[in-house]
Amino acid sequence: MSFSSEVKSELARTAFGKSCCASAELAGIIRSCGAIHIEGKGDLGVRLVTENAAVARRIKTLLSERFSADASLLVGEHSFARGRRAYALHLSGKRGGNRILRETDIVKPAGSRRHMEEGLSERFFRKKCCRKALLRGLFLGAGTVSDPKSGYNLELVFADEATAASARKLFGSFTDLKAGVRQRRGRIVVYLKDSEQIKDVLTIMGAHAKLLAFEDVRLMKELRGRTNRVNNCELANVDRALATSSRELDAIQSIRRRNLLDELPSGLLDTALIRLDHPDATLAELGALHTPPIGKSAVSARMKRIEKFAEEG
């Protein structure tokens, strides 16, 4: 199962919450994966399509438990799912479609007529509990989130601009969430690419188990990145130390070949002999081998004088 499906399966098991929130979630679901049609005699039906079995079950339960509406469930291949299995729920007007559309503010009475609204009702933006449920509904119907192992992307894909604009506004209503919008094959994609923001969305929707899994992978990646940086840095230091040591050894050996070691001042001679015995030691280690011990800057200064002596002597 993909990371996305796992998140949806977890969300499909969360509690429906208060009745205001149940309406908000349902509105999000209908706007993201639903289509409304006229059944004749003024009845309005709703058809909801999802590729996720757990999501289909949640929608069916949400409708029956919280709205006493009975949707028929069809399993089959659907053009939307490009040959993959899809679940279609059909809610007819008489069995609750008319009422559900009113309760989710998708259809509003306008005098003796009815008016079809666009996007998501302001009503669901007023309370934080409803905004969370609305976001969960939109994600269940139109959302995907990449596996953190391969990258950071959470997106909601909509067919209509008004719902996409509502979704963007919804993200913006939470602290530090700023969604981008782009077109893809005639659809509108509302997306987040920042790992911290994606974590926030998983928390808001209530996907706590997947949030932990997401965080584990993210930390692992960060740690690996840091370890590589540290290793590279350490290797660079080692390379530098080795280059210095071999330059010092060259200088000392050239002095020795010319039998000039005895002409070195006694302090420098000590340092040169210690270096010959310890070609891999760091300056600090060389310093500690002196009697009495000297600091690494003193060793460094002596080495410079030895190299100068080798060049001039």
Which residues are near Zn ion by CB under 5 A? Answer: 18, 20-21, 127, 129-130
Tokens of 159: 């067919």
Beta-sheet strands, E only, within 97-218: 107-110, 113-116, 143-145, 154-158, 180-184, 187-192
Q: What is the DSSP letter of 18?
A: S
The smaller minimum CB distance to Zn ion, of residues 89 and 205, is found at 205
First to last CA, the chain: 75
Tokens of 3: 């990371």
Instruction: Return d(Cα 57, Cα 205) in angstroms, integer.
Output: 18
The smaller minimum CB distance to Zn ion, of residues 20 and 276, is found at 20
Instruction: Return d(Cα 293, Cα 284) in angstroms, integer.
Output: 10
Residue 71 Cβ, how far from Zn ion at the closest point, in Å?
Answer: 22
Amino acid at 38: I
Residue 219 Cβ, how far from Zn ion at the closest point, in Å?
Answer: 33
| Cβ neighbours for 313, distance < 8 A, ≥ 6 positions apart | 255, 258, 260, 263
Element spanning 233, H or E: helix 208-257
Residue 170 Cβ, how far from Zn ion at the closest point, in Å?
Answer: 14
Residue 20 Cβ, how far from Zn ion at the closest point, in Å?
Answer: 3
| Cβ neighbours for 102, distance < 8 A, ≥ 6 positions apart | 108, 109
Residue 66 Cβ, how far from Zn ion at the closest point, in Å?
Answer: 12
Residue 151 Cβ, how far from Zn ion at the closest point, in Å?
Answer: 33
Residue 21 Cβ, how far from Zn ion at the closest point, in Å?
Answer: 4
Contact 309, 262 (CB under 8 A): no
The smaller minimum CB distance to Zn ion, of residues 124 and 171, is found at 124
Sheet holding 72-77, edge to edge: 34-40, 43-50, 85-91, 72-77
Q: Parallel, antiparallel, or unpaired for β 72-77 and 85-91?
A: antiparallel
The smaller minimum CB distance to Zn ion, of residues 93 and 206, is found at 206
The smaller minimum CB distance to Zn ion, of residues 81 and 129, is found at 129
The smaller minimum CB distance to Zn ion, of residues 47 and 58, is found at 58
The smaller minimum CB distance to Zn ion, of residues 130 and 167, is found at 130
